[in-house]
Amino acid sequence: MDFELQDELKLFRRTVREFCERELAPHAATADETGELAWSAIHKMPALGLTGLQVSEAYGGAGLDTTGAALAVEEIGRVCGSTGLSISAHNGLGCGPLMAWGTAAQKERWLPLLTSGRHLGGLALTEPQAGSDLLNGAQTTARRDGDHYVLNGHKAWITNVRFAPVLSVLARTDPAGGSRGFSLLLVEPDRAGVTVHPPEKKMGLKASPTHMLTLENVRVPADHLLGEEGSGFYMTMQTLDSGRISIGALSVGLAQGAYEALLRYALERQAFGEPIASKQLIQEKIANAAMEIEAARLLVYKAAWLKDKGQDYTRLAAMAKLKASEVAEKVCFDAIQVHGSYGYSREYPVERLYRDQRLMSIGEGTSEIQRLVIARQVLKAWQQGAAWL
């Protein structure tokens, strides 16, 4: 594995950072207060490929590899968690399944809209009674009726619904079929029978819209089936593996934002006659943050690198998300601590970063589920005599 980013990726990172500093950072606190994304910035994102990170250029995307996509999400998360989550979900959960399994007609119809900077896409898996255990708990159904599917059920906690021209919805097409009984269907939220409920009132990521959906006899044409009937659960697991790299990158970005705020404040704040950065207990926090962010970032890059090489990356993606989300929690906690009372105030960004990072150990698979995934992979590999153990 190459530990240096290629020059073009370094340049891309710098360009995205400058864009984020200029277009997103000034709006991040307001977005958190008002609950509205800075659309003025999102409208400009297509020029950098941020609304189609891994979508082919033919459909308006940037055609980046996974490392490039992770860098972009990290940079957005560094300045605005809400935009980071919405752009991560849009790219990974909205555009990702369409790019991977869409027919030419589906791609032509939806991807140019999704990359336009006027919409954000999403994926509806979670239900009010089931998140981690979709296999046993998901109840939404899609029944074939002639040349249509008819969907019924509820979906909960769905990011970007309000701005999505289309969503991929996980539904049971064969209720007795187990993991082969699920399919993904493309559903337009303005279709008859779809109710988008009021936005969830969240702890953080307040400008990233999250809604519950009810589907009541929603008829979609059969050509809205994504991939093959019965392969929805498999596609979901693949999409989540990939999405975990992105949530890992977003976590690194949130940690990086808090770390930089911590450094700035520690150098500026005086106590006992000198900047608090001179105190060894503050330096311990600085050293730990520097080391842990580096470790988390390398795990994200390694997972992305494995994915781009076409190798199995399930274990590394789970490790990257788990480690990076735990690092984000600790670094944001320490950043508030170093700010003292000001850290508890909305005047400084660290309290927003602390609230925003909390989702990272829940969304796209909780930390408990990541540990189960890692342990299962390790045990399987051990039993098969894998060399990397």
Ligand X SMILES: Cc1cc2nc3c(=O)[nH]c(=O)nc-3n(C[C@H](O)[C@H](O)[C@H](O)COP(=O)(O)OP(=O)(O)OC[C@H]3O[C@@H](n4cnc5c(N)ncnc54)[C@H](O)[C@@H]3O)c2cc1C
State the residues that interact with ligand X by CB under 6 A. 89, 93, 122-126, 131-133, 157-159, 202, 205, 210, 359, 362-366, 368-369, 372
* Shortest Å, Cβ 149 to ligand X: 19
CB-based contact 212:181 (threshold 8 Å): no
* Shortest Å, Cβ 116 to ligand X: 20
Question: For residue 71, which amino acid is it?
Answer: L
Q: 376 vs 56, 137, 296, 326, CA distance in Å?
A: 34, 21, 21, 20
Q: Which residue is nearest to ligand X (CB)?
A: 131
Nearer to ligand X, 299 or 360 (CB): 360
Nearer to ligand X, 21 or 368 (CB): 368
Q: Is 364 an annotated catalytic residue?
A: yes
Per the structure block, which two tokens stand in for 295?
Answer: 């470790």
Question: For residue 357, which amino acid is it?
Answer: Q
* Shortest Å, Cβ 133 to ligand X: 6
Alpha-carbon distance of 367 to 204, in angstroms, equals 18
Helices marked H in the chain: 7-19, 28-34, 39-42, 66-79, 81-88, 96-101, 104-114, 134-137, 232-268, 280-308, 314-339, 350-357, 367-383
Nearer to ligand X, 210 or 231 (CB): 210
Nearer to ligand X, 70 or 205 (CB): 205
Q: 213 vs 60, 161, 165, 274, 300, CA distance in Å?
A: 29, 8, 14, 55, 32
Alpha-carbon distance of 238 to 323, in angstroms, equals 20
* Shortest Å, Cβ 380 to ligand X: 17
Four-residue CA torsion sign, 349, 39, 88, 93: positive
Helix (H, G, I), strand (E, B) or coil at 188: coil
* Shortest Å, Cβ 298 to ligand X: 25
Nearer to ligand X, 15 or 132 (CB): 132
For 157, phi then psi, to 5°, come to 65, 45
Nearer to ligand X, 88 or 115 (CB): 88
* Shortest Å, Cβ 89 to ligand X: 5
Closest CA to 71 of 104, 101, 48: 48
The active-site residue, picked from 74, 229, 326, 364, is 364
Place of tokens 């769905």: 158
The catalytic site residues sit at: 364
